[in-house]
């Protein structure tokens, strides 16, 4: 048992008892003989973040191919560099990404990358949560689709008894994957009662090409292929018309909003407020650092709020409470994880922030300060599943993780 003493929760001082992996009790004063007592004077507790769309191992691509459009950026800069990646690079790259996520207050991420056993190992060691999907991309090669479906089935069949990790599936997009692969993965996800992630309608060209090839828009196509549902996440989902919004709502499909990446690659801005008003389940993600260029959900919240206002032409769009919720509670809820709020009975995933940090004063509205003013310098501690994964800004093995990452970057740029 861990007892947090004198911590600010919703502007009131209280004590919080962590028992096993849950928030057991919240009260003005708790008198109990705990294994550890943490003095939280001048600290506030907030739920940690859930980053619902990223490509963790793209860390080595930070700052590459700046100011190019999405097609040139991918084909000229990203794909040739990714072709050099070997499985042994993925573990150090994943560890470095996780280091950045923990420092910026994230305790759960949904990845989309390759050589996933290496990422699984990094997640297990560093103590956070993750949804790790088996990769699906076949470039319309039927044999490759069969091969992927077979290997994905093996992946889902292998026992993996870590409650912090959920095995899932991803298909890259309708412009890189065949109907056979997408429907095969969707059927598998249903059979194994797990999640499927896919990039959808990130750019207008994708929509236009889909209409030309299939005679309908991407969301309509995925609905026809029976891919949509509450366990399917559409990453980006920028260009949806009203009929598609209705399909997303009707099927309970989850959306992963990536405002920084969309603005940086100039692929359009999601109508966040319109989607929220329509009752869609929107979550927040950073995308990879190659198009962000950080994994900080704090920066992502600011862009989500600002781009929502700009897109709606209204200051009342992208409200503080809503933006904070899409970055925390909505993400955990979408993946059936009982976290994202500081309440008794919830999983103990949270951050402690220093209320004397320059960005958090004056404390008129803590969530607003977190969205519009703060950076990760205010975060002192991060807990996941009841255990500290950063204490007083220290993450175990940090120096080694950094030196290994630098070695891999040098290797890949050689």
- Rounded to a whole number of angstroms, the minimum distance from the CB of residue 229 to Zn ion is 20
* Neighbouring residues of 285: CB distance < 8 A, sequence distance ≥ 6: 51, 52, 53, 54, 110, 235, 256, 257, 258, 300
- Rounded to a whole number of angstroms, the minimum distance from the CB of residue 74 to Zn ion is 11
- Rounded to a whole number of angstroms, the minimum distance from the CB of residue 167 to Zn ion is 19
- Distance between CA 170 and CA 197 in Å, rounded? 5
The token duo for 313 is: 């032409």
- Compare residues 38 and 132 and give the one whose CB is closer to Zn ion: 132
- Rounded to a whole number of angstroms, the minimum distance from the CB of residue 47 to Zn ion is 24
Count of residues making up the chain? 414
- Compare residues 289 and 371 and give the one whose CB is closer to Zn ion: 289
Encoded one letter per residue, x for contact with Zn ion by CB under 5 A and - for no contact, window 285-314 reads --x---------------------------
Stretch that binds Zn ion, among 9-17, 21-29, 280-288, 365-373 (CB under 5 A): 280-288
Stretch that binds Zn ion, among 96-104, 279-287, 313-321, 332-340 (CB under 5 A): 279-287
- Compare residues 287 and 300 and give the one whose CB is closer to Zn ion: 287
The token duo for 365 is: 């509205």
Nearest residue to the partner Zn ion, using Cβ: 287
Asked if residue 237 lies in contact with residue 191, where contact means CB atoms within 8 angstroms, the answer is no
User: What Å distances lie between residue 224 and 106, 182, 387, CA to CA?
Assistant: 35, 12, 44
Q: Angle between the 179-191 and 142-157 helix axes, to the nearest 10 degrees?
A: 10
Encoded one letter per residue, x for contact with Zn ion by CB under 5 A and - for no contact, window 184-203 reads --------------------
- Rounded to a whole number of angstroms, the minimum distance from the CB of residue 20 to Zn ion is 35
How many residues bind Zn ion (CB under 5 A)? The answer is 1
Q: How many CB atoms lie within 10 A of CB 362?
A: 6
Encoded one letter per residue, x for contact with Zn ion by CB under 5 A and - for no contact, window 385-414 reads ------------------------------
Stretch that binds Zn ion, among 12-20, 215-223, 281-289, 329-337 (CB under 5 A): 281-289
- Rounded to a whole number of angstroms, the minimum distance from the CB of residue 218 to Zn ion is 15
- Using the Cα atoms of residue 391, residue 405, residue 119 and residue 107 in order, give the sign of their dihedral: positive
The token duo for 307 is: 């781009």
- Shortest CA distance to 337 belongs to which of 108, 116, 125? 108
- Using the Cα atoms of residue 327, residue 333, residue 337 and residue 342 in order, give the sign of their dihedral: positive
- Rounded to a whole number of angstroms, the minimum distance from the CB of residue 290 to Zn ion is 9
- Compare residues 111 and 287 and give the one whose CB is closer to Zn ion: 287
- Compare residues 287 and 322 and give the one whose CB is closer to Zn ion: 287
Stretch that binds Zn ion, among 92-100, 176-184, 282-290, 298-306 (CB under 5 A): 282-290
Asked if residue 260 lies in contact with residue 270, where contact means CB atoms within 8 angstroms, the answer is no
Burial 244-275 (b: 16+ CB within 10 A, else e): bbebbeebebbbbbbbbbbbbbebbbbbbbbb
- Compare residues 112 and 181 and give the one whose CB is closer to Zn ion: 112
- Rounded to a whole number of angstroms, the minimum distance from the CB of residue 189 to Zn ion is 18
Instruction: Please report, as ranges, the residues that interact with Zn ion according to CB under 5 A.
Output: 287
């Amino acid at each position: 048992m861990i007892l947090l003493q004198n911590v600010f929760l919703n502007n009131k001082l209280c004590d919080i008892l962590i028992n096993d992996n849950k928030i057991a009790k919240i009260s003005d004063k708790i008198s109990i003989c705990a294994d550890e007592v943490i003095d939280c004077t001048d600290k506030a507790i907030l739920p940690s973040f859930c980053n619902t769309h990223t490509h963790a191992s793209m860390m080595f691509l930070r700052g590459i191919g700046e100011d190019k459009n999405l097609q040139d950026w991918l084909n000229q800069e990203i794909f040739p560099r990714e072709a050099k990646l070997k499985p042994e690079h993925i573990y150090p790259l994943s560890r470095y990404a996780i280091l950045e996520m923990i420092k910026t207050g994230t305790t759960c991420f949904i990845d989309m990358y390759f050589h996933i056993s290496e990422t699984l190992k990094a997640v297990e060691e560093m103590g956070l949560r993750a949804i790790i999907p088996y990769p699906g991309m076949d470039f319309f090669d039927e044999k490759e689709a069969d091969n992927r479906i077979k290997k994905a089935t093996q992946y889902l069949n292998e026992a993996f008894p870590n409650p912090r990790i959920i095995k899932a599936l991803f298909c890259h997009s309708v412009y890189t994957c065949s109907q056979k692969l997408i429907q095969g993965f969707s059927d598998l996800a249903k059979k194994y009662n797990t999640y499927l992630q896919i990039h959808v309608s990130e750019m207008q060209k994708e929509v236009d090409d889909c209409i030309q090839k299939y005679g309908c828009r991407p969301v309509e196509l995925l609905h026809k292929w029976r891919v949509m549902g509450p366990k399917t996440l559409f990453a980006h989902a920028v260009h949806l018309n009203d009929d598609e919004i209705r399909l997303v709502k009707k099927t309970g499909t989850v959306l992963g909003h990536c405002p920084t990446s969309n603005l940086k690659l100039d692929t359009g801005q999601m109508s966040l407020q319109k989607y929220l008003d329509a009752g869609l389940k929107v979550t927040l993600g950073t995308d990879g650092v190659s198009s962000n260029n950080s994994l900080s959900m704090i920066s992502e919240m600011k862009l989500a709020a600002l781009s929502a206002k700009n897109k709606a032409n209204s200051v009342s769009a992208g409200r503080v409470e809503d933006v904070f919720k899409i970055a925390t509670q909505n993400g955990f809820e979408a993946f059936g994880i009982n976290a994202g709020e500081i309440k008794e009975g919830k999983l103990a995933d949270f951050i402690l922030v220093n209320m004397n940090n320059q960005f958090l004063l004056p404390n008129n509205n803590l969530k607003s300060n977190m969205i519009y003013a703060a950076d990760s310098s205010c975060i002192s501690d991060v807990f996941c599943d009841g255990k500290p994964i950063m204490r007083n800004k220290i993450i175990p093995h940090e120096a080694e993780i950094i030196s290994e990452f630098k070695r891999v970057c040098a290797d890949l740029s050689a």
